A and B are shown apart, each in its own frame.
Chain A
Amino acid sequence: MNYMPGTASLIQDIDKKHLVLLRDGRTLIGYLRSIDQFANLVLHQTVERIHVGKKYGDIPRGIFVVRGENVVLLGEIDLEKESDTPLQQVSIEEILEEQRVKQQAKQESEKLKVQALKERGLSVPRADTLDEY
């Protein structure tokens, strides 16, 4: 097996279904249509998949052009095993709601943590100063 240097190795993955993890944590699934030397990607029939616990939801996104620097992970999806998942698909609304609840819970716990630390005279770097969306 030989491979091409750099993003040229992606050429053989073109027109296959891929999962792309972005820097901001989003997960996209779509057909890889085009690439360039910066690993800028063109995804076709893209869905954005949101996972919360054992549930997931897909939001159709159409064509997605991803700037290469935002790609964290890229992998082909095995269509044989695609449906073979213990996860349960739910509607978009539901998953968004779940996501919201989860984020809220996370915020709450963060707040509590900060509070507890403050009482002990400690401080933590605020999470929102970090690069999160």
Chain B
Amino acid sequence: MFRYPSLEDCPLDEDEDAFQALGEEDEDIDQFNDDTFGAGAVDDDWQEAHERLAELEDKAGSGREPDGPVGNDGDVLGDPEDALAERLTRLVIDSELEDPAIMQAVHTREPPQQPGGLNSSIWDSSAVLRRIRGPLLAQEMPSVSVLDYALPQRPPQARDEERDPSERALPRRSSSPIIGSPPVRAVPIGTPPKQAAIPNFNQQILCPKPVHIRATMQQRYPAPYGERMSPNQLCNVPNSSLLGHPFPHSVSPVLTHLQRAQLLGGAQVKLLPAGRMSPSQFARVSGLVGSPLPSVNPKLLQGRVGQMMSPAGGFRAFFGAPPAPPPSQLPHPPGPGSHLQNLRSPQMFRPDTTHLHPQHRRLLHQRQQQNRNQHRSLNGSGGDRGGHRSSHQEQIRKDPYANLMLQREKDWVSKIQMMQLQSTDPYLDDYYYQNYFQKLEKLAAAEEVHGDGPKKERTKLITPQVAKLEHTYKPVQFEGSLGKLTVSSVNNPRKMIDAVVTSRSEDDETKEKQVRDKRRQTLVTIEKTYSLLLDVEDYERRYLLSLEGERPALMGERKQKICDIYDNLRGKAPGQDRLSDDHFMQIMCIRKGKRLVARILPFLAPEQAADVLMATARNLPFLIKKDAQDEVLPCLLRPFSHVLYHLPLGTVTSLVQQLTNLPQSAAAPTNLHLTAVLQNKFGLSLLYLVLSRGEELQSSDTNTELMQDNQWTELMLMATRELLRIPQGALAKPVSIPSNLISLFSRYVDQQKLNLLETKLHLVQGIR
């Protein structure tokens, strides 16, 4: 905090003191702003901005003092000037969204180098600023800041007389549609009169209170402005393209940044109704504001900026006696709307000229024709304009309007777009894109492997890499205030519905379950198991993302969940030893249940999986009957084959036993169980799989236990017999036929029977 030695008597000082006293609360207020508008929304330090405004006012006041012109008493203003410049520097460095991820992404693109040392990066780099500032402030112009220096030496003032005649001639949008309407000069109702508005722009809008006006630029810098154009004129230059000047030659090819900034300042106002104004634009406008622009009255800034950044005005009013009436009380509230009206592009006219008087229309037509011709010739004739790409580049380079959007603003747009993609868990937040992208990558990889066709370069979306930090919200509390000041913000929206998840006690549930029918209960079980399954599936991803230390715990959790899944599946109640297949069968009768089992199997431990497989085999005829409509059982084949791959011979043997219901009691004339299995696609395929696995074990492992071996042989003999007995027509079409089945059967049957079997199987294959 600095003081003005010569301005002690300034009434503003009270205000300064008030700010000092409230210094410790500033942090709170900043936090408050952040919480309410989101981080970065009010990135500009409102207090700083405000101080600068106050400071400007001081200077404006001192300018009228008899001691001497402000421009020369550097000793008085030297200090504040330094501090101001420093702040300005800080302001420039201040990037509104400090997120490292975004910054990284943004800084990958180098800002384009701009010609001109002074012009190059007033807004970009503080180093440059300091470099320029040094000599400037120290010597020639002690009290004039860089910005003063860089300003076009002419007050922003547009003279209607100087403007393009074509503007005047062209009908305005709101011109009267009556035929033979008065010439376009006629002032449309509702819009402020143009004649009055533009020339008075400076007085009325820039300086709502003429009392505070310092010597205008013109007076202070009587340098001839010759051919140079004022920023306001620059604003209007585009309009002159009607007359056929694509780029005015009178303008130096590269606009100074300030000119550009002012140009934009004008343009921004036009932009306003089209969308929100960006913080960076605020920042820049206020940056301009903060600098001691001689011709710009602080009031204007307060009016202009204050309306956009309510905290600046609002808090001032809140904290102390404001030195000036708030903008709304000014005689001419310079709201964005009025700006808009004043700056309304004059060449807007209706597309259809049919409402015009024929003669007028002809005139208009002639003029436009002329314009176009000029336009064409200036652009190197409409025919061969920009004949080469390079010439296009040249054109861009020559274009004095290029880079109207500063790098800073471009960065701001990219940042704001990047912010939306930030996420701690992209898989959760953006599931479909993630999956789509994975698919794309897989496709690309496959293409590369095949190597066919020219390599297509795939476009990749740039996304921020670092996850955002959790924002903890603490409601702001002012001492002595009653109640809570803030209840909601962008980060913490107000809770509209207080939905509480009430978990009922287990007793209630079981009681209810007894009442409900069994099917519904099974459905509930399936849903519960599904959510468990999804959790388990997520663990792989979480494992990869987790730190080394957390992994054992994660693994433990996962194991527990898998056990829960298994228990759900088998309907194992605690304390119950003997498992009944009943529960499992209920699940397997429901389509979703079958798919669930197919998805669960890969996660289960081998014994658990074997148990599931066994239960399925045991009750296969029943399942087949139930599956007649759904026909989803085949989806189980693949997981089953994976399970089989890990099973020892003993289990495989018993599996075949279960599957074929052998040895059956001699009393039964036909093996209904086996018939049912063989007649079903899934059943037969499963049987083949199991047999194939058995054969694999037999052939690979020669020293199996004799007992098991005998059992297997015995079983196979019986099975082959059954297979031979079954009429060929009763055999279903299996999904696949393992290749080693022939060698399997060759062990247990003689040649004749083998041939018979072969034809049977071959036939089956042939049909397939």
**Which residues does A use to contact B, with CB under 8 Å?**
1-8, 11, 14-16, 31, 33-38, 40, 42, 44-45, 48, 50, 58-63, 65-68, 79-80, 82-83, 89, 91-93, 96, 100
Contacts and interface: CB of A to CB of B under 8 A. Distances in A.
Contact of A42 (B271, B276, B369, B386): B271
Interface string B342-384: 0001011001111000000100010011011001000000111
B457 A82 contact: no
B402 interface: yes
B700 to A, nearest CB: 51
Contacts of B404: 15, 33-34, 42, 44
A45 B347 CA distance: 12
Contacts of A1: 457-460
8 shortest interchain CB distances as A-B pairs: A79-B386, A6-B417, A8-B417, A8-B414, A34-B405, A15-B402, A79-B392, A40-B275
Interface in B434-491: 457-463
B274 A67 contact: yes
Nearest to A14: B405
Interface stretch (B238-246, B290-298, B505-513, B545-553): B238-246
Nearest to B391: A79
B403 A37 contact: no
Contacts of B131: none
B247 to A, nearest CB: 9
Contacts of A66: 274
B270 A3 contact: no
B389 interface: yes
B392 A11 contact: no
Nearest to A79: B386
Contact of A62 (B345, B389, B410): B345
A63 B276 CA distance: 19
B278 interface: yes
Contact of B271 (A2, A44, A59, A65): A65
A31 B405 CA distance: 12
Given A3-B459, A62-B241, A96 B417 contact: no
Contact of B386 (A48, A82, A89, A91): A82
Interface in B173-194: none
B267 interface: yes
A58 B242 CA distance: 12
A68 B275 contact: yes
A36 B275 contact: yes
Contacts of B462: 2-5
B459 A100 contact: no
B414 A4 contact: yes
Contact of A35 (B345, B413, B420): B413
Given A5-B420, A5-B462, A63 B345 contact: yes
Given A36-B413, A82-B385, A8 B274 contact: no
A89 B238 CA distance: 23
B387 interface: yes
B239 A31 contact: no
B354 A100 contact: yes
Contacts of B459: 1-3
Interface string B582-610: 00000000000000000000000000000
A63 B383 contact: no
Interface in B391-429: 391-392, 395-396, 399, 401-405, 409-410, 413-414, 416-418, 420-421
Nearest to A34: B405
Contacts of A34: 264, 267, 271, 404-405, 409
A8 B246 CA distance: 28
A17 to B, nearest CB: 8
Given A16-B396, A83-B385, A62 B239 contact: yes
Given A40-B275, A62-B242, A65-B271, A79 B405 contact: no
